[in-house]
Amino acid sequence: MVCDETTLMEHYAPPFAAMADKVAGYMCSYNRINGVYACENEYTLKTMLKGLFNFSGFVVSDWGATHSTSPAINAGLDIDMPDPRYFNQDTIKAGLAAGNFTEARLRDSCNRIMSGWYKVPSDKRFPCNGGSCVKNNVSTPAHKQLARKLSAMSTVLVQNNHGLLPLAKGKGGALGGVATIALIGTDAVTPYTAGQGSGGVPNSNVAVSPLEAFQGITGITVVYNPGNSTASAASAAAGADVAIVFGSAMSGEGKDRLDLLFTAPKIAGAPTTEEIIAAVGKAQPKTVVVAAVPGQILTDWRNDVAAILVPFLPGEQYGNAIADIIFGEVTPQAKLPLSFPKVDNEQGMTTAQWPGVNTSKFGGKDAKEATYTEGQIVGYRWYDKNNVQPAFAFGHGLTYGDGYTYSQLKTEGRTISFQVAGTGCDTPQVYIGYPTASSDPKVPKKVLRGFQKTCSTAATAVTISHTLTDQDVSNWDLGKRVYVVTKGEYKVYVGSSSQDIRLTGTITI
């Protein structure tokens, strides 16, 4: 990646700075940053992370991401994984003898590594008697309940037309209730619950599919259709009180998605999930789509269905968690951490920006160089700057109940406060617009600076506040190579999402 210093320090570095005093270690990646491998990049590891951000822990390489001994050690790498190919007794002795690095630098690495180990409680320092625990099933009933709770709480309700959800059990309930539910799609039986590779977590012996969970609900008749044809899926949906279509988009380590569609069906010759959704939606107005996806998904079918739930990667308690949300045992309270576009490549990324163009700079015929010429105008910042409305905005997420009203925006010093009142759950978000946001095309219209979740069963007003830190109102000074507070009049935006802004004001720094 090729990225200018201002964008690097104002857009990509702050999350690393925010966690520098909260984690024992960081991992450096495979790619080059401005021509230098991430695991031997002195600017990002030594100057930025261990210097400016005062990180006292260790840096470990991704598996096979180390490419040298002396340059990597001097740049700030502490651990070479998975094997000591470059950091072994012979290479380190040779480097010391040649004066390529100092003993003090090695001691610093050792102190960083061991300090993290000593911070672990003594009874946790030798798990499994010093052996490997990777394949041990250490789940407990309490773990299962927590996984179920967190999965439900992390599910985003992005659409709920006519208040279809939560469903009531039995014909006599609110909104008429439901007695028969059609579960459609093979993901109802063999769901996608986590990524593959290092990000994958094997299910334990009690993984719960949606079909299993719904079949265990008293008073509900469940009809399952794998979605092997649009006609059969539509027929099953039409014969039920409510239809729920399950789909997924798979990705993992070394296996990126090729598009923003659902993964091809698991049944040979079956229609796509998108085709199933469209057919079911036309046959049954009370259709819910549940999308287990690792990121954005195109929703050309959103007007064909009543409700959409996005649990992202829901874990092994997927079935129980979705049932809890659909029947109102848990109130939806999650928000989208990204924007869902209306069309593919809505932000108009060029090939040079992503995935990059072929280059011979690094001696490999398959090497690509991606240049981040978009700067900070990416994600929700692009939608704001270009006055484009996505399908579902960053920070969007619905709830059950009456929703929330916002009022009484005040600014005092650097503190922004306001009141919210309502029922259900919401996460009000505080955005600020820098003084030059309207005149400089490189400066985002607004940037997120704070958020706080609130849940209530009574419409009692709650005061929420956020005090801006120096980091919140700073820009990177290229000459001094430090963050400098930018003075002037800032705009203040408070809303339920990046595009659902309820209150506006100003604050002077």
Domain residue ranges of the chain, discontinuous segments joined by +: 5-129, 141-326, 400-508
Does pLDDT of 175 surpass 50? no
Higher local confidence (pLDDT), 467 or 268: 467
Residue 174 has pLDDT above 50, yes or no: no
CA nearest to 409, candidates 491, 487, 338: 491
User: Of 472, 463, 477, which is closest to residue 490 (Cα–Cα)?
Assistant: 472
Torsion sign across C-alpha atoms 356, 357, 360, 364: positive
CATH T-level topology, domain 400-508: Immunoglobulin-like (2.60.40)
The pLDDT tens digits of the residues spanning 54-84 come to 999 999 999 999 999 999 999 999 999 999 9
Closest by CA to 314, choosing from 203, 201, 192, 216, is 192
Beta bridge partners of 503: 494
* Best CA proximity match to 422, nearest among 400, 438, 443, 439: 400
Residues 332, 321 contacting (CB under 8 angstroms): no
Least confident of 191-200, 205-214, 215-224, 385-394: 191-200
C-alpha separations of 382 from 54, 87, 393 in Å: 32, 43, 11
Summarised one tens digit per residue, pLDDT across range 104-156 is: 999 999 999 999 999 989 888 888 888 888 788 888 899 999 999 999 999 99
* Structure confidence at residue 138 (pLDDT): 81
- Output the pLDDT for position 129: 84
For 503, the enclosing helix (H) or strand (E) is: strand 501-508
Q: Which top CATH class is 141-326?
A: alpha beta
Summary mean pLDDT of the chain:
94
Q: Give the confidence band of 365 by pLDDT, cuts at 50, 70, 90.
A: low
Whether the predicted pLDDT of 172 surpasses 60: no
- Fold type of domain 5-129: TIM Barrel (3.20.20)
Give the C-alpha separation, 399 to 335, whole Å: 10
Q: What is the pLDDT of residues 304-335, one digit of tens each?
A: 999 999 999 999 999 999 999 999 999 999 99
Confidence at residue 171, expressed as pLDDT on a 0 to 100 scale: 60
